[in-house]
Structure 1
């Protein structure tokens, strides 16, 4: 982690470390698009050197999560690549792993991508394509939803086999077959006995500490993100203005906000307000409407892409494609990266 030469960047996913520290993946705008490379930036508002960086070569980081410090275990950030390479790092060590062990190249060859990691309880969890859910144990990464994976794999093989045999007029049948393939987008939980995973075609599954259960969702839209605010208040967002709230015990209901022209990529509740991130900015959701957030910052562009939302003890963080936003004490502040202010 050190200073570096200025090069314009675009931000990706990130996670809050504390009220003053944020860790975010970035990608060099002028880098060869065929070369995989991620530069992790660490913003520390308490340091004289605000920005430090940590390079991860040969991979594209798509999800990050904080491992909080505990007795005998230092605080660290986890970074997951699209094909299952995982790095856990802090200022004193770097740990490299693959999901499953030595499986990243096989994942790439088979087109099996991962989508997200989350720290739940005392462990890190990951999810991805073809119904895969993994947990990081002391002995490595363990697949913990084998029945879901097996069913998704069978559906995938059935689709591949039927694709070559079906006639063009059987497109509806092919669509039905491919929609049966479960691909997960995000995983989150209140505890290790209360975990949610969401994905395509309105898929939500729940772990109650003993087994996985399919939940009935009032939508068939693709679902992208889960925010567990409390055991009773779980938010799920997705395509075409889909925003759900509920839990595994009582079910989920729609926010009737009437904006099917927007895809919601991330959701977070902070200080009583529910925020959703889109490709055109940050919105605040209410029961029957959403509205653009008034930042009180005239220098903000009218439209920007929200890459991630997170919160620490008293601060709400927003990762946009070219800058960060920080809400502290009711006041928004825009944080520019020096490489993007040339």
Structure 2
């Protein structure tokens, strides 16, 4: 790979302690162009960086294990509802979620898609106006959003940002309403119906979910919102932030909760709550330049920003340089 196409990273999913799957937009293209480059970084192969391109805007990446017998697949969701799968061998496979998207042929125009996640044995995707889809098999996506799906032309549109849960009878859909202040919304699927959950008054627009256990669900979002709880016991606010900090992700790692944001990477120590939410000091030179995505796999924590990639093994942070970008 030559240093001819600098990229800005958009989404990522950690695979293990040595590898991560990342989508990136080419700096030479206008923002949100319908073209991204998908990178697999793997320290155990040569070359360590491999990539291919797709003609859409990536909105989420995920690992999908269809069954114990099937090999895992790297998955990527576009804002228009295309889903690509890459396995260890063979060409990429692309599916389209019927009705999803805005400009794609056949789109009902509920709104753009926003997140993709494996929960239990199935992939789930969510998007504007309360869209929730479940993948039942190859090219077989079905709605499971009765009770949350709105009409395509509704004004106070529900804007889901993330979907996740400990299993398929406990799924959380988080986001906000498209109205003044973007009030936060959480809907919970109990295996039969959706219901809206109450939230602390201080909570604001939600962007992300992390499932630590069935009873410890972490939610984070705008103006320093950090919530912990579950559908049965409710959620409590743990935030000590009172400014315009926007948390973009949340991930628990050995008793500490890491939060990438517009201001950098931050951490909340569960065993030392009075310390509040503090900026992470990595010891890197220079320190982390930005942080957008946080994920963990095989005991390693990964942080991905627009240009800066680093991983933490619990003792030492290591920066990973992308060959197409200028050294940090």
Q: TM-score, normalised by structure 1?
A: 0.86
Match of 2:238 in 1: 255
Match of 1:77 in 2: 74
2:316 is aligned, of 323, 328, 331, to: 331
1:290 aligns with 2:287: no
In 1: Cα distance, 2:32 partner to 2:295 partner? 30
1:229-285 per-residue CA deviation (whole Å, 9 max, x = no partner) reads 100110000111101000111100001413332111111101111011101210002
Q: What SS is found at the alignment partner of 2:158?
A: coil
Q: What SS is found at the alignment partner of 1:127?
A: strand
Match of 2:180 in 1: none
1:210-244 per-residue CA deviation (whole Å, 9 max, x = no partner) reads 22121111145211101111001100001111010
Please provide the CA RMSD for this pair: 2.1
Q: What SS is found at the alignment partner of 1:240?
A: helix
Indicate the larger mover: 29-38 or 140-149.
Answer: 29-38
In 1: Cα distance, 2:87 partner to 2:199 partner? 39
1:127-186 per-residue CA deviation (whole Å, 9 max, x = no partner) reads 11001111111261111012211xx228x44x4xxxxxxxxxxxxxxxxxx3xx322110
2:161 is aligned, of 185, 196, 200, to: 185
Residues 1:211 and 1:328: Cα distance change in structure 2 (over 3 Å): same
Task: Report if aligned partners of 1:193, 1:209 keep a CA contact under 8 Å in 2.
Answer: yes
1:116 aligns with 2:90: no
Cα offset for 1:35? 4.3
1:203 is aligned, of 179, 185, 189, to: 185
1:82-130 per-residue CA deviation (whole Å, 9 max, x = no partner) reads 1111111123232211112686615768371011001111111011100
Residues 1:296 and 1:241: Cα distance change in structure 2 (over 3 Å): same
Residues 1:211 and 1:109: Cα distance change in structure 2 (over 3 Å): closer
1:27-176 map, 5 Å: 27-33=25-31, 35-57=33-55, 59-68=56-65, 70-93=67-90, 94-100=92-98, 105-106=104-105, 110=109, 112-138=111-137, 140-149=140-149, 152-153=150-151, 156-157=153-154, 159=155
In 1: Cα distance, 2:249 partner to 2:228 partner? 13
1:266 aligns with 2:242: no
1:8-23 map, 5 Å: 8-23=6-21
Match of 2:299 in 1: 314
Q: What SS is found at the alignment partner of 1:130?
A: helix
Residues 1:216 and 1:276: Cα distance change in structure 2 (over 3 Å): same
Q: TM-score, normalised by structure 2?
A: 0.89
Task: Provide the aligned length of Structure 1 versus Structure 2.
Answer: 313
Cα offset for 1:32? 4.6
1:12-43 per-residue CA deviation (whole Å, 9 max, x = no partner) reads 11101122110000111012557421100100
In 1: Cα distance, 2:108 partner to 2:99 partner? 15
Structure with max Cα Rg: 1
Alignment gaps of 5+ in structure 2: 177-182
